[in-house]
Structure formats: C-alpha cells, structure tokens
Amino acid sequence: MSSIPIDTLKCKYSFVIYLITFLGVFSFQEAKSQTSLPALEDVDMLMTNLTVQLEITSGIDAMYNFDFKVAEGQFHWLKSHYPEHPLPYFLLGLTQWWKIVPNIENTAYDEAFFTYMDSAIYYADIMYKKDKDDPEALFILAGTWAFEGRLNGERHNWTKATFSVRKALNYFDKLKSMPKSELTPELLYGDGLYNYYVEWIKENYKMLRAVMWMFDSGDKELGIEQLETCGKEAFYTRIEAMYYLMKVHSSKGGKMIRAIQISEYLHEKYPNNPYFQRYYARLLYYSGRYPQLYKVSKSLLERVEQHQVGYEEMSGRYACFYLGAYYRDYLGDRKTAAEYYRKAIEYVEAIKDYGSGYYHYSLAALARDAKKDGDFELANEYYSKLQMYAVGRKKLQTEAKQFKKEYKKLRKQRKKEERNS
C-alpha cells in the first residue's frame, strides 16, 4: 500500500478526514419543547431547520461538556422522532467519539461508535440514492466516512481507513461543486483545513514533497481565514474550526495570543471537557502565564482525583507536570515541585505511555534535583529510566550519559576509599 494515505491518516492534518457534522452556535439551554419538531416531509433539510437546531443544541452542548447522559437522552429522543434519518445516529456516534478523545488508546467505545456511524451511513445512503444532489445526505456521508477513517487510522486499520477517507473526500468534493446552500458555511471547515495543511505538510515533511504534486496547491493564509469564518458563521462545524484554529495559532508561526483566546473560550464554555481544559493549560504553560496555569492545572488534577467523567491518567500527567513547573520555575519550591513530578510519573507509568515528553522531563527534573542534593543513587535511577525511554531526545540522552560517567567514577572512588579505610 502507498505510504501517502497512511501518513495522512496517521497525522491529524490529513486534509479533510476530520469533516464533522456537529455543534451549535447557540448558548447552552434546555430544549423548551420536545413536541414541536416538524414532520420530516415538511422540511427541506432537517439539519438546517431552525426548530431542530434549537432543540438539539442542549444535547450537543452537553456532549461537548461531557454530560453524556443528557446528550444521549436528547439524541435518542431525536431518533424517536426521525428513526430513518441519519442525523441522530451521527450525533450518537459523535458522543461515542468524545468518550474516546481524552485517551485515544481507549477502545471501549469503538463498537458503539462504528454501530452508530454505520447506521448514519445506511440512512444517508438511502437519501443519496433518491437524490444524488441532496446536500444533507452528502454532508452526513462525508462526515461519517471521515470519522470512521479517523478512528480506523488510529487503530492502524489502514485498508479500512484508506477506503473511508476516499469515500469522505468523494462526497465532500461533490458537495463543494454544488450551488450555495444553507450548509455552505460548514464547507469552509474542510476547505480551510485543506488549504492550510497541504502547504504545512510541504514545509514540515520534506519526504512527502515528491508526492504532493498529486494534490492541488493550498494557501495557508486563506485556510486560516476560512476557518475563522467557519468559526463565526457555521452551526455544525463551528467548534471544530475553532479547535483547529487553536492548534494552528499555537504552532510555529502562529498567533499565540489568538490560540489562548480560543482555548480559554472553549474551556469556559465547556468546563467539564478534559481535552479543552488540558489544552488551555498547555498554552498557559508555553506562554509562561503561571498564575492562571496554577488555577487551571489544580482544577484539572482535582477532577482526575474525583474520577470525573473523562478525567483519567492522561489528564493527570498534564496537571501534575504543569503544577511541578509552577512550583519549580515560578515559586522556586523544589520540594513541592518534586511531589508533583513524582505524581506525573505515576500517572504515565499507570498507562505505560513511556514515550511521553511529560514523563521524560519529569524524570529529568527529579534526576537533577537528586544530583543537586547529593543523592546520586536516586539520580542514577531517574537517569537510567531516561536512557531507556527518552529515545530521540538528544539533550536528555547526553545529560544522562554524562551523569553515568560521573556516577561510575564516583562509585569507583568510593570503593577505593572503602578498601583503604
């Protein structure tokens, strides 16, 4: 198999495999009436019907805020009204997806995810066969196949992933060629991702340049503009556009202030979303905003310790590492910092994510402290783990090797002194 689809699937910037059909622009509110939904035959598109959007907003917001009981109740209610429409099945599939997001290695929700997404595809395909130019059917087909491709890629099911992505792209291209409709703002999401990341890949992955001729050229600035517009005007893809804008602006050459603004908004709008909270903490850490970092990280850790939905070991390692940095770098309190670094290590080792940078730099901080305190045996334990797991981190490897040399000399000297005493 060609490496192109594998590489593009493996990375989150694989053009448009993240085309998503969800999220409203309205503020969180309870559905005021669950008896006022229009009959399916009375609307042109269910997705763009204002009454439907108003009714499902509370469920969508609940999903993003990790209140899955409320979200699933709302979407099942929608399904009871429209049992043969793909939208409720897609939303139920997205709910399973967000259960996976905090720890992408978690496979507990895979079966339910694929069951709902396959159902959405089944009913959307029926709509598509009746009308090849049905924008609603095309949009849902593009979104469902894209999500299936994403998860299959994460699970290294490359054949299925490639098939799904090709299907998603085909439906998306057909949708783009159609006249403008109420779904047009949603399409800026896919266009924006493509325009930005096709050029980003050329700049950052030289090994792929030779095959990039097969893809149309992009425009990074235009891509950002399209995502910004989508983040303001779209209904279903608004939050996803903001999510990628946050990532784009927090990367090299981006606008960190804008990234922080977006991440702060997402965290405040969905305070129980562990992914948004830890990403906000990450940006606060990199921008050196320690007082805010402390509050967000402390809250993150408390939620982990309370076993709040979605707050698992993955979030625990983020929180503890950032709290360690706060006490060490901002307050100069090495003792308290060490306590948090040890906790960060415990969280990482609990899920065996030994390649994590948070693990490596927590080990490095503790190793340096032990060395500074003259506890060379303890320092040796930490540096030994660094040598074993921090593969590819040249500076840390060099530091560990240098200590090992010094430690070897020290032990030799001690043995000599013992013999002479």
Residue 291 has a CB neighbour count (10 Å cut-off) of 9
- pTM exceeds 0.95 for this model: no
Q: What is the dihedral of CA 255, 261, 264, 269, to 10 degrees?
A: -130
For the chain, first and last CA: distance in Å? Answer: 68
Domains of the chain, by residue range, sit at: 3-272, 285-343, 354-416
Residue 114 has a CB neighbour count (10 Å cut-off) of 17
Contact at 8 Å (CB) between 379 and 370? yes
What residues contact 105, with CB distance under 8 A and at least 6 apart?
Answer: 351
Burial of 18 (0-12, 13-18, 19+ CB in 10 A): buried
Dist CA 291 CA 39 (whole Å): 53
Dist CA 93 CA 68 (whole Å): 12
Residue among 120, 41, 111 at smallest CA distance from 88: 120
Contact at 8 Å (CB) between 369 and 403? no
pLDDT tens digits, the chain, 421 residues: what are they?
334 343 433 443 344 444 333 333 222 333 334 447 898 888 889 999 999 999 899 999 999 999 999 999 999 999 999 999 999 999 999 999 999 999 998 999 999 999 999 999 999 999 999 999 999 999 999 989 989 998 999 999 989 998 998 898 899 889 888 888 888 888 888 888 888 888 887 888 777 666 666 667 889 999 999 999 999 998 888 888 998 899 999 988 889 999 999 999 999 999 999 999 999 999 999 999 999 999 999 999 999 999 999 999 999 999 999 999 999 999 999 999 999 999 999 999 999 999 999 999 999 999 999 999 999 999 999 999 999 999 999 999 999 999 999 998 888 887 777 777 6
Phi and psi for 292 in degrees, rounded to 5? -70, -40
Burial of 345 (0-12, 13-18, 19+ CB in 10 A): buried
Can you read off the two tokens belonging to residue 35? 């008896």
Contact at 8 Å (CB) between 201 and 250? no
Dist CA 142 CA 117 (whole Å): 11
Report DSSP state, residue 183: T
Can you read off the two tokens belonging to residue 172? 């998306």
